[in-house]
């Protein structure tokens, strides 16, 4: 049976209703789009259960410190004012998309498999001068790892893959088609 969601009188789905009581797993949480997505979800969907953020330690910073920097940024001023307890809905998980099993511990992986409803895979390299090997690892192999992990999620309802905007950037107009490689 398909899930029931609250709708408007015209039959449109209410986004907060969809996310109510749901758990989200997010990669790329510390990037620009990830931060904006976190803020928007927490502000507009207050009944969202929680967002698990795959985060890697970086430059001697713990994952908790990296998430704290996000929630203390100007972007979250309004949310801090309206709902000061929102940080309780953010749960950093130590991991890295380049590692086997995304670098997740066994308990974290099992917990995700039992609890996650929605996945936003947003992690990637955005450096256009990145080596081909690193680009393939981050933008292709990591997607396969995410899909393999998500196939084991017991309650998965949506998988959203955010991809690079640099593909075929030399084209004046990009259609939904496969373009021949320029290499």
Give the tens place of pLDDT for each residue, 12-25.
Answer: 668 888 999 999 99
Sheet with strand 158-161: strands edge to edge: 90-94, 50-55, 23-27, 118-121, 158-161
* H or E stretch at 28: none
pLDDT tens-place string over residues 126-153: 777 888 888 888 888 999 999 999 999 9
Q: Give domain status of residue 175, yes or no.
A: no
The secondary structure of residue 138, as a DSSP letter, is: I
Residue 3 has pLDDT above 80, yes or no: no
pTM: 0.84
Output phi, psi for 72, to 5 deg: -95, 5
Number of domains observed in the structure of the chain: 1
* H or E stretch at 39: helix 32-44
Name the packing angle between helices 106-115 and 142-150 (round to 10°).
Answer: 60
Owner of token pair 């997740």: 104
Q: Note the pLDDT of residue 5.
A: 57
Domain membership of residue 78 as a residue range? 15-161
**By the 8 A CB rule, do 93 and 52 touch?**
yes
Instruction: Kindly report the CATH number assigned to the domain that includes residue 94.
Output: 3.40.50.720
3-state secondary structure of 176: coil
Q: Note the pLDDT of residue 123.
A: 87
pLDDT tens-place string over residues 66-125: 999 999 999 999 999 999 999 999 999 999 999 999 999 999 999 999 999 999 999 887
Q: Give domain status of residue 94, yes or no.
A: yes
């Amino acid at each position: 049976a398909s899930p029931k969601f609250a709708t408007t009188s015209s039959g449109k789905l209410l986004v907060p209703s969809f996310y109510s009581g749901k758990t989200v797993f997010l990669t790329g949480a510390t990037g620009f789009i990830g931060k904006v997505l976190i803020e928007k979800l927490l502000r507009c969907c207050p009944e969202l259960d929680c967002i698990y953020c795959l985060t890697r330690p970086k430059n001697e910073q713990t994952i908790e410190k990296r998430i704290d920097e996000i929630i203390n940024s100007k972007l979250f001023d309004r949310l801090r004012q309206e709902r000061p307890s929102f940080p309780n809905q953010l749960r950093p998980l130590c991991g890295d998309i380049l590692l086997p099993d995304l670098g997740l511990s066994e308990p974290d992986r099992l917990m995700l498999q039992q609890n996650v409803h929605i996945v936003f895979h947003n992690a990637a390299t955005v450096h256009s001068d990145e080596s081909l090997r690193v680009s393939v690892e981050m933008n292709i192999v990591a997607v396969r790892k995410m899909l393999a992990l998500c196939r084991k999620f017991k309650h998965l309802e949506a998988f959203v893959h955010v991809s690079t905007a640099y593909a075929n950037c030399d084209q004046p107009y990009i259609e939904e088609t496969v373009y021949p490689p320029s290499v």
